[in-house]
Chains A and B, each alone.
Chain A
Amino acid sequence: MKFHRVTALTAFALSGALVLSACSSTSDGGSGMVTANGSEPQNPLIPTNTNENGGGRIVDRLFAGLESYDARGNLQHEVAQSIETTDSKSFAIKIKPDWTFTDGTPVTAKSFVDAWNYGALSTNAQLQSSFFEPIVGYDEVAAGPPTAQTMSGLKIVDDTTFTVDLKQPTADFRLRLGFTPFYPLPEVAFLDMAAFGERPVGNGPYEFADGDAWQHNVKLDLVPNPDYRGNRSPNNGGLSFVFYSSLDTAYSDLQAGNLDVLDTVPESALSTFRSDLGDRALEAPTAQNAQIGIPGNLPHFAGPEGGLRRQALSRAIDRGQITQQIFQGLRTPARDFTASSLPGFNANLPGVRALEYDAGVAKSLWAQADALSPWSGRFEIAYNSDGGHQAWVDAAANSIRNTLGIDAVGAPYPTFKQIRTEITNRTIGSAFRSGWQGDYPSILEFLEPQFVTGAGSNDEDYSNPAFDDLVRGAEAATDEDESFALAGQAQEILLLDLPVLPLWDYITAAGHSEAVSDVQISWNGLPMYEAIKKS
């Protein structure tokens, strides 16, 4: 019949189109180019304005700083020839003489000093400006309006030498020198920073591919920089970052072989990725943790009563069970306030029992607090619904409810923006999901911004002068082991006060395709891109 013939014809045409389109489905991006997942950079690619890892992973490929980090987070000199200090307050930095940017101009001391001054100056509105805070002269430059255009603590001695003076001894400053805001910038950047942000000129292992390298919201192509002379020489023919809006889609592409490296397995695939990928599945601890912050002004949570309640709550959360059941073992229960992958981590600080599940002790501590002042109402844990946190918040609340017999629930906020605003304005009125991601591998970087009196990320308004003194001592220590020991003592105080309840440290679940090898996840959860080999 006529109709049948037409149907058959249409079916044939459709399947033909499908086959044809499948033929063009494997996107290689060029010979030897490794395809990796990414997300559209939220800001132009200027090192001092990049504060999220969509842009960060690209800027870290385009630039090389004084130091670089290896996979474990240890420092190695890159552009720096020597960094000398006797007191962690005055640094004399000498750089290697033969580095150049990809436009041929030399990398000089001025490249660094000008870039850092640009980042700190408040009228440039750079999001990472607060990282220059320890430098003398920062306050004048960062004020609104600024009273100086350059920081007095930075002095250029000659083309390859400059000195840095800090306001107080900060041993941690040395560890920052490999981190993104501290990269050098060529002269051409300062002529038109907006255009530079679209197509940066750097001195790193990769540079922008020719032509239309950055297709916004789609992908960004990088090719090896032949003039690079540092520690991270590329083993591949380039990187093609494909921007995905959904990790589930990226995982499908990985399974089909269209994507070479995926650095985050989506939650929906956590229970199957090990069997799906076999020995192509990767797991590595990263410098990131999760906590529950309890504001200092929350009723029932201040003073001795508050101390008892915090201890009780911390012991009422069964971290082991939650990390196994909800995260498929991809989190490790916290043993301190930092992360297990950091140099100097100590899993057995005195007082770490506060982080272990103990129903009996929890109940008795809670009862002691009730004797001081009876508990009423419910314990709420605020979180943002757009971050995939509901499962564990509900599990933690249930653990508290079952152990202590109080009403504990999760309180969802629609967006991250909303909950962040309320936390910053101190109007949140409940405990809240919190956590820290290390920008550079340092224990003090986890402790200082969050718990020192008046610090920028001290959302709970925690203040303990003894803790502040120990942190200052750790910063002033000239010996690394002494610094770690003092940081440990500082954490002992935190384990008694519990301004936040540490929950767990992150383990990245990642995977790669059969076409690549030598994929290693580094301390920040991203692969060591330069080392990836594509067959």
Chain B
Amino acid sequence: MIPVFIGATLLIYAMVFLIPGDPIQALAGDKPLSPAVADQLRERYHLDRPFIVQYLLYLKGIFTLDFGTSFSGQPVRDVLARAFPVTIRLAFMAIVIEAAFGIFFGVIAGLRKGKAFDATLLVLSLFIIAVPVFVIGFLAQFFLGVRWGIAPVTVGADASFSRLLVPAIVLGLVSFAYVLRLTRTSVAENKDADHVRTATAKGLSRRRVVVVHILRNSLIPVVTFLGADLGALMAGAIVTEGIFNINGVGGTIYQAVIRGEAPTVVSFVTVLVVVFLVANLLVDLLYAALDPRIRYA
């Protein structure tokens, strides 16, 4: 864990440091900044020190839970505390929706492989994957929000579960399509397996055969995908967050990169790395629960 942490932070810090352009100049915009003031600001944000000194100062701060200060005077700790809960809520909802519906429809499609239902779902999922997420997002916002008024247009201040519903659906749509296809293929493959034939021959109910015997084995690729998807959703929700005005991680990192604020970018990315590691750990543990053939000694 520690080497990953140090490696990730050092790498990201170096990358932000190497972005061309002077952040202090950018703060002043088109207007002149007196050299004395510019020097003062550089000193305040340690931008006049060599790279490795800046990095070590940042690491020292982390041990006292001081993640640095952004250029606007906000402690990064506060920025983190505000942005992460919203994005976690959004990503969590997206995962739950995409998992529930993806697995549900994937099972039906897999069981009826080759029939009309299956073909329809395949075409639909292909369509969803092909259309860019911002197109779907804007269309959803316009029709559901502006035209028909059945969903809030933007999220803004009140990031409650009900208001995050449409953004979560939009965010999870592409992953829903993948989960659907993965489940479908897995189920179609597993339904002809030996243990399933045995279970049916033994007289178990159809319901039990599908849920306990077929689904459990088919879920392994799906769960792997969902674990990777959680990290991708959290970091990559920037487009959806912009469309629905959600104050989450994506938009904050984007602004910080544009301004060249290394402490903010590194702090956010570090937390994302940790989230990613934890998610994958959970996925690994789930394998043992799902497939009895996998055991951890």
Contacts and interface: CB of A to CB of B under 8 A. Distances in A.
A binds B: yes
Interface of A: 2-3, 6, 10, 17-22, 24-25, 27, 40-44, 51-52, 122-127, 129-130, 142-144, 146, 194, 197, 215-219, 242-246, 248-250, 252-253, 255-256, 258, 386, 415-421, 424, 435-437, 439, 449, 455-457
B64 interface: no
B41 interface: yes
Interface string B124-141: 000000000000001001
B245 interface: yes
6 contacts: A22-B152, A130-B34, A218-B157, A252-B146, A415-B26, A455-B32
A454 to B, nearest CB: 11
Interface stretch (B6-14, B159-167, B174-182, B273-281): B159-167
Given A127-B33, A256-B149, A246 B245 contact: yes
B106 interface: no
Contacts of B21: 415, 417-421
Given A22-B149, A126-B37, A420-B26, A194 B154 contact: no
A249 B157 contact: no
Given A21-B165, A421-B25, A215 B157 contact: yes
B77 interface: no
Given A130-B34, A143-B36, A417-B22, A216 B82 contact: yes
B157 A417 contact: no
A282 B26 CA distance: 31
| Interface SS of chain B | helix
Nearest to A26: B152
B252 A456 contact: no
Given A21-B162, A142-B36, A415 B258 contact: yes
B79, B145, B251 interface centre (most CB from chain A within 10 Å):
B145
Given A17-B165, A22-B149, A27-B156, A244 B245 contact: yes
A40 B72 contact: yes
Given A258-B154, A457-B31, A252 B142 contact: yes
Per CB-CB distance, the 7 closest pairs between chain A and chain B, nearest first, are A456-B32, A144-B36, A417-B21, A122-B36, A125-B40, A25-B152, A21-B162
Contact of A129 (B37, B241, B245): B37
B78 interface: yes
A417 B26 CA distance: 5
B259 interface: yes
Contacts of B41: 125
B50 interface: no
Given A256-B153, A437-B30, 16 more contacts: A18-B165, A21-B165, A22-B150, A25-B163, A42-B71, A124-B40, A142-B34, A142-B36, A216-B82, A218-B157, A245-B241, A245-B242, A245-B245, A252-B153, A416-B26, A417-B25
B274 to A, nearest CB: 22
Nearest to B152: A25
B20, B36, B79, B82 interface centre (most CB from chain A within 10 Å):
B36
B23 interface: yes
Contacts of A19: 150
Contacts of A24: 152, 158, 162-163
Given A3-B108, A42-B71, A127-B37, A27 B165 contact: no
B44 interface: yes
A18 B40 contact: no
Interface in B66-107: 71-74, 78-79, 82-83, 101, 104
Interface in B219-274: 241-245, 247, 251-252, 255, 258-260
B193 interface: no
B151 A457 contact: no
Contact-residue bracket for chain B: 35 or more
A18 B31 CA distance: 47
A415 B150 CA distance: 38
A253 B154 contact: yes
A48 to B, nearest CB: 11
B162 A248 contact: no
Nearest to B70: A42
Contact of B32 (A252, A416, A449): A449
B29 interface: yes
Contact of A249 (B39, B243, B255): B243
Contact of A219 (B72, B144, B146, B156): B156
Contacts of A124: 40
B190 to A, nearest CB: 19
A22 B151 contact: yes
A249 B154 contact: yes
B153 to A, nearest CB: 4
Contacts of A25: 145, 149, 151-153, 163
B35 interface: yes
Contacts of A126: 37
Contacts of B153: 25, 249, 252-253, 256, 258
B28 interface: yes
Contacts of B154: 244, 249, 252-253, 258
A245 B40 CA distance: 30
A124 B83 CA distance: 30
A418 B146 contact: no
B30 A144 contact: no
A383 B46 CA distance: 29
Nearest to B260: A417
B73 A197 contact: yes
A6 B243 CA distance: 32
Contacts of A416: 26, 258
Contacts of A40: 72
B156 A21 contact: no
B62 interface: no
A20 B158 CA distance: 14
A449 B40 contact: no
A41 B71 CA distance: 11
Contacts of B282: none
B27 interface: yes
A245 B185 CA distance: 40
Contacts of B73: 43-44, 194, 197
Nearest to B244: A249
A19, A124, A249 interface centre (most CB from chain B within 10 Å):
A249
B22 to A, nearest CB: 4
Contacts of A42: 27, 71-72
Contacts of B150: 18-19, 22
Contact of B258 (A3, A21, A146, A386): A386
B30 A435 contact: yes
B146 A130 contact: no
A51 B152 CA distance: 34
Nearest to A49: B73
Contacts of B141: 249, 252
B30 A21 contact: no
A216 B104 CA distance: 40
